Chains A and B, each alone.
Chain A
Amino acid sequence: MKRVIENQLFLWRLCFKTAPAYMIYFLYDGFRYQGIIFLEHVLGIRYVLHCAEYQEPFSKALLYIGVILIINMIQIIPDGMFIHGWSYKNKPKLYRALKEKMYEKAAEIDLSCYDDPDYYNDFVLAVAEAESSIDRFLLMCNHIVQALTILFTTGVFYLMTDAAGVLFVLASFILRFFVSKVVNKLNYAVRLKVNPLERKRNYVSRVFYLNDYAKELRLHPAVGDQLEKEFEEANESIVAEQKKIGVKRSMLGFFKDYAVGDFIIDGLYITYLVFQAAVLHTIDYSNAVVLFNRTGSLRRGMTDLADIFPQMQENSLYVDKIRSFLEYDPKIKAHEGELLPEGNAELDLEHLSFKYKEDMEETLKDISLKVKPGEKIAIVGYNGAGKTTLIKLLMRLYDPTGGKIRYHGKDIREFQPYDYHSHIGVVFQDYQMYGASLKENVVMDCTDELKDAPVTDALERAGFKERLRKLEKGLDTQVTTEFDKEGINFSGGESQKVAISRAFYKNADILIMDEPSSALDPIAEYELNKAMESAAKGKTVFYISHRLSTTRDADRIILLENGRIEEEGTHESLLARNGKYAEMWKVQAGRYENK
């Protein structure tokens, strides 16, 4: 309860701080809307009817309605500004205020958060729901103001004209409220049963309509038949579930709409009004008409107010996710710590071990390694031996669970991660292209004041020279067709070269390459390796590859197996040792020997 209110206040503060004037008008708008309706449909109509009933002079009615007309003409001017101007301008600002906070956090939370599916699902939900939670909040504010306005205007009118009328409306409202609870519970129970069935149904339609599966379905038509059968079964089960409760739900609905709704208002209340007017003569006709006509609106005001808290609770669930995401305190803080000394230095891995989760086996076990500045290290091993994990620790995307990494003689945890990262150039297997200019895609930052030459140079060294020359707009070419139809989607090989040029551009002391050539044809792979050789002069290099031909010239080769360094040495010494590496080498190289 407390948290629910707090969450609404959190959103209110955020919105109010971002656009105070807009928010005030926003509240006023709910009041304005119901106020005008009251003025026109309660006071105005009643006054005219009253004048007619008691034969008041026409001028009085004219004046009264004239005033309402003028008020109407004036109040609608800012309303137009609000709907067609202020809202379009301010709503994105409100979204931005919340989303920028979340973006900053998203760029800051520990990478390990992405490995935890529960955390990650919450995170995605929080980002996805950011806009709608603001929308829901605004709508709720509007409902509160509208409901309060109705209660204060129409409610007071009832109390002053004929207080008993409120009792009818109130009785109907309260009874409906309880019936609604039963109905909601019933609907919720059905939802729980139907949801997984609908999930299945949606999955099947996705398989049929996404292009991802189109090929498989054509190669294996029998799978399609099986899925169609499952789809039909899901729908049959849904029908069965709905049938089970159909009658009960219909009767409850009838009870809610009619027995405690229309029957009380259209039946009992009208009887009461007619009785008062015809028999007791305690109410005049004009009031009776207005009272009867406004029952619906009064009841709606009450219902809206009663719905506010459930709405708050629902929205609060999402805001909770957003807030707990924003409140997360990352273990690796990008901007804390000391700056790195100039120049390259020795990297020292001391008894490094790591596991992704408490209850999981260690991915890396007691890794010790001293790397001299400028040394070329190749890391080889089976799939799943821990190669990429080791790289992630070196990059300080994760902190080791045991042991430490020293650079310049200090534990890298003492350095500012942001500065540390800027000293390392890295090419991952799963690099991404961004919807921005080619130049920005190399620099990976805003480039307004940067010269072209170093960027061109980096691209050329990565083997992109020919392609760059063919680009009409050169470095200003838009990459991806995300939001520029003229944009260019580079092929796998070309993208890889752009990704590699990023590492070259950085002019870092340490270069890390994680299988950069896996998708390339032999010629492209060859060219890449040549480029690497020249670009890596004087830098410390870590190179992961399954292609042992590309790693043989390394100063040292590390063979990882099950998270341990199993073998270590130069190509020749490892061959002489005749162990795992030698086996791998023979298997791969042997295939090239003439038979």
Chain B
Amino acid sequence: MSKKKREIGRRRALQNNFYACGLLKKICPSLVGHLAISRFLGYFEWLFYSAFFMRYVINSLEAGDSFGTIMVFVGIVVAVSGAMSLYNNVLNGHIMPISRAIVNNGLYKILFKKSRNVELECFEDSEFYDKYTLAMEKADERLIDTVQAVLRTFFGAIASVCAFVFMFQVDPISVLFIIFPVIGNFIFNRMISHLDYARNQDMVPHNRRIAYINRVMYLPEYAKEMRLTDVFKLMRRQSREAIDGLADVTKKYTKKAVVLHWLYVMFTFTFIFEGLLIYGAYRTLVSHSMTLAQLAVITSMMVSTTWILIGFTESLTALFKNGLFIEYLRSFLEYNEKIPENSEGADPGKRIESIEFRNVSFSYKDKQVLKNLNMEFHEGRTYAIVGYNGAGKTTLIKLLLRFYDPTEGTILLNGRDIREYDLKKYRALFATAFQDHRMFSMSVMDNVVMGEDIPMEQREEKVTRALKLSGAYDKVMTLKKGLDTILTHEFDNEGAVLSGGEFQKIVVARAFVKECPFKIFDEPSSALDPIAESTLFDNIYESCKDNTLVFISHRLSSVQNADWVYLLADNTVKEEGSHKSLMEQKGIYADMYSKQARNYLALSEGGEVA
């Protein structure tokens, strides 16, 4: 069998299991103790019943002990097992449910803290993000499972040794039969699990395709095209191919798997069971060196020993599997933030006199997005950023907000590198409306305020004003609870879901409501009708008179009134100046503008826009 590549070494996997124990102990120490006790009691009970109980009773019967004597023994056993059962039920019925909530709370608070503190880039790096989602998914349950597996391995090992010793006591030779399930578990079962792993890997592409088609078939965004075109046939064919693919993969492994399965079952169960039965019969009937009680013990010990061994191997496998999950969790928690959200530094004050991009370049995954950028933004002025799709306009804003740091060059606020400032205080200087609108499952009011420090008594007034400016107020007022309406269906079935355009307006209102010197609008009007668009731009100019204002737009008419226009092309600032001077330059901007304006101004092809 070819050695499969492991993502992490065995040593690291084991260390991770200890790390998990340490983590759980930190979050909820009593739980670790309880889990250990209950695991110990479980194995103890198992071994006791299969090794001692029957043997004692039959021995007593054969020795002709009185009914009463045996009953005293049975009575003690029943009382002890009653106490153990009581403990287990208090654990499962009372302690566990509470501990689970405590672990959930404790672990996720650690995770939240970290995920709020890592830089935005982590979320955009798919490799990082995939691992990170794997770490977050049901992390609390899996952490407990991991610790359980560690305990199962530990006590399973002890129990296995005890089982060997007991069988040895009963009959030294019978212990030799244990070699069969040991071979079955550690050799054949392992080979099977390697084979399962390889087969699963081969099946992944087919299963992914099946899952994709499933999604396409029920998501509403595909529904129209499903009806208007024959794309359904395409999907159906793909799904059939994937299922045939699964069958082909299976075929490749079947023969080998059947042989291994046969060997596994024979060694793990059949050989030890039938072998011991024949051996026991021989000892009692032919050599007369074994009592009935001993034989009875051997028959029940062989079953429990086999299952203890199986449990042990399974928990060992789980140990390595969990090691990988913990690795994701651990590497996330131990990740060194490039731009920690809580980075401290100088207080930037409340004013922005100037912001300057000095030779700023930025690459994302070896792809140059911005190159040698030089820009300036001065207090109280209005700037427009225009350019082709994909020219890096939004990236520029992200650099300004310090979601990323430039790969080269510096950005200066009031003459000082922005990396030297306290990040939270720095970012508080800006209000930004991005294109991709995300609503939180909170009231409209809270969705506009977004936790800004606005006194309660002024909130309604300020939010109303912001919503009126962004054009969403009338729509919000048609909702049943007005400003108090909860948005989205996340956990309020009565929650309101608005159209994309309305959500966009609420995002814009967030930027209106925030009191800060610098406001940024990224394509605020792309989904709006002409009247709404025009009003919105008037409102932006009007209400941000005292602020420094930056907006990105494809609607060049709205750009005209800006004090300064930056045109981005070929990853850098290609043209800059006032609208008028850029038109006179007759460069890219002038070409864009005239192409857009031509039809409005009823000019013929090639005609010039003044």
Query: Do A and B share a complex?
Result: yes
**Majority SS of interface residues in chain B?**
helix
List B contacts of A266 (CB < 8 A). Answer: 49, 77-78, 81
- Complex Cα–Cα for A524 and B592 (A): 10
Is residue B74 contacting chain A, with contact meaning CB distance below 8 A?
Answer: yes
Nearest B residue to A580, CB-CB: B531
Asked if B554 and A257 sit within 8 Å, CB to CB, the answer is: no
A-contact bits for B326-340, CB 8 A (1 contact / 0 none) = 000000000000000
- Complex Cα–Cα for A483 and B208 (A): 7
- Complex Cα–Cα for A308 and B116 (A): 47
Asked if A526 and B595 sit within 8 Å, CB to CB, the answer is: yes
List B contacts of A66 (CB < 8 A). Answer: 278
Chain B nearest Cβ from A90, distance in angstroms = 9
Given contacts A432-B225, A493-B390, whether A382 and B285 have CB atoms under 8 Å apart is no
Is residue A159 contacting chain B, with contact meaning CB distance below 8 A?
Answer: no
Asked if A219 and B225 sit within 8 Å, CB to CB, the answer is: no
List B contacts of A548 (CB < 8 A). Answer: 530, 600
Which of B62, B109, B274, B560 has a CB less than 8 Å from the CB of A591? B560
List A contacts of B450 (CB < 8 A). Answer: 216, 219-220, 222-223
List A contacts of B136 (CB < 8 A). Answer: 205, 209
Is residue A21 contacting chain B, with contact meaning CB distance below 8 A?
Answer: no
Is residue A375 contacting chain B, with contact meaning CB distance below 8 A?
Answer: no
Asked if B226 and A107 sit within 8 Å, CB to CB, the answer is: yes
Chain B: number of interface residues, binned into ranges? 35 or more
A-contact bits for B311-348, CB 8 A (1 contact / 0 none) = 00000000000000000000000000000010000000
List B contacts of A493 (CB < 8 A). Answer: 389-390
Is residue A52 contacting chain B, with contact meaning CB distance below 8 A?
Answer: yes
Is residue A328 contacting chain B, with contact meaning CB distance below 8 A?
Answer: no
Which of A69, A79, A83 has a CB less than 8 Å from the CB of B274? A69
Asked if A383 and B501 sit within 8 Å, CB to CB, the answer is: yes
A-contact bits for B92-136, CB 8 A (1 contact / 0 none) = 111101100110110011011001100010011000010011001
Is residue A363 contacting chain B, with contact meaning CB distance below 8 A?
Answer: no
Asked if B390 and A48 sit within 8 Å, CB to CB, the answer is: no
Chain A: number of interface residues, binned into ranges? 35 or more
List A contacts of B227 (CB < 8 A). Answer: 107, 111, 334, 397, 417, 421
Of A96-104, A402-410, A461-469, the one touching chain B: A96-104
Asked if A96 and B58 sit within 8 Å, CB to CB, the answer is: no
Asked if B596 and A522 sit within 8 Å, CB to CB, the answer is: yes
| Contacts of A220-237 to chain B: CB distance below 8 A | 220-228, 231-232, 235-236
List B contacts of A175 (CB < 8 A). Answer: none
Is residue B158 contacting chain A, with contact meaning CB distance below 8 A?
Answer: no
Of A139-147, A343-351, A423-431, the one touching chain B: A423-431
Asked if B94 and A267 sit within 8 Å, CB to CB, the answer is: no
- Complex Cα–Cα for A41 and B225 (A): 61
List A contacts of B286 (CB < 8 A). Answer: 58
Asked if A52 and B218 sit within 8 Å, CB to CB, the answer is: no
Asked if A502 and B530 sit within 8 Å, CB to CB, the answer is: no
List B contacts of A123 (CB < 8 A). Answer: 218
Asked if A446 and B71 sit within 8 Å, CB to CB, the answer is: no
Interface centre among A88, A218, A249 (most CB of B within 10 A): A218
Asked if A267 and B74 sit within 8 Å, CB to CB, the answer is: yes
Asked if A519 and B526 sit within 8 Å, CB to CB, the answer is: yes
Is residue A491 contacting chain B, with contact meaning CB distance below 8 A?
Answer: yes
- Complex Cα–Cα for A325 and B108 (A): 39
Is residue A254 contacting chain B, with contact meaning CB distance below 8 A?
Answer: yes
Asked if B600 and A589 sit within 8 Å, CB to CB, the answer is: yes
List A contacts of B41 (CB < 8 A). Answer: none
Of A4-12, A22-30, A268-276, the one touching chain B: A268-276
Chain B nearest Cβ from A211, distance in angstroms = 4
- Complex Cα–Cα for A594 and B600 (A): 12
Chain B nearest Cβ from A34, distance in angstroms = 14
- Complex Cα–Cα for A426 and B229 (A): 10
Chain B nearest Cβ from A28, distance in angstroms = 17
Asked if B299 and A49 sit within 8 Å, CB to CB, the answer is: yes
Asked if B93 and A278 sit within 8 Å, CB to CB, the answer is: no
Is residue A549 contacting chain B, with contact meaning CB distance below 8 A?
Answer: yes
List B contacts of A76 (CB < 8 A). Answer: 261-262, 265-266, 270
Nearest A residue to B228, CB-CB: A421
Asked if A62 and B278 sit within 8 Å, CB to CB, the answer is: yes
Is residue A309 contacting chain B, with contact meaning CB distance below 8 A?
Answer: no
Which of A106, A211, A263, A445 has a CB less than 8 Å from the CB of B229? A445
Of B233-241, B351-359, B377-385, B461-469, the one touching chain A: B233-241
Asked if B401 and A219 sit within 8 Å, CB to CB, the answer is: yes
| Contacts of B407-445 to chain A: CB distance below 8 A | 424, 427, 430, 432, 434, 436, 438, 440-442
Is residue B230 contacting chain A, with contact meaning CB distance below 8 A?
Answer: yes
Asked if B236 and A100 sit within 8 Å, CB to CB, the answer is: yes
Is residue B528 contacting chain A, with contact meaning CB distance below 8 A?
Answer: yes
- Complex Cα–Cα for A101 and B451 (A): 49
Asked if B499 and A383 sit within 8 Å, CB to CB, the answer is: yes
List B contacts of A51 (CB < 8 A). Answer: 281, 284-285
Of A165-173, A239-247, A310-318, the one touching chain B: A239-247
Which of A45, A205, A227, A482 has a CB less than 8 Å from the CB of B277? A45
List A contacts of B97 (CB < 8 A). Answer: 242, 246
Other A-B contacts than A80-B258, A520-B389, 17 sampled, CB-CB below 8 A, are A44-B277, A49-B292, A58-B281, A76-B261, A104-B232, A211-B123, A219-B432, A235-B102, A239-B102, A262-B85, A267-B74, A289-B299, A421-B227, A522-B554, A587-B531, A591-B560, A592-B556
27 contacts between A and B (CB under 8 A): A44-B274, A49-B296, A65-B274, A76-B261, A84-B261, A89-B250, A96-B239, A103-B213, A107-B226, A199-B491, A213-B438, A214-B123, A219-B430, A222-B451, A222-B452, A226-B446, A226-B451, A242-B101, A252-B93, A253-B92, A258-B82, A382-B529, A428-B224, A432-B222, A522-B593, A588-B600, A591-B557
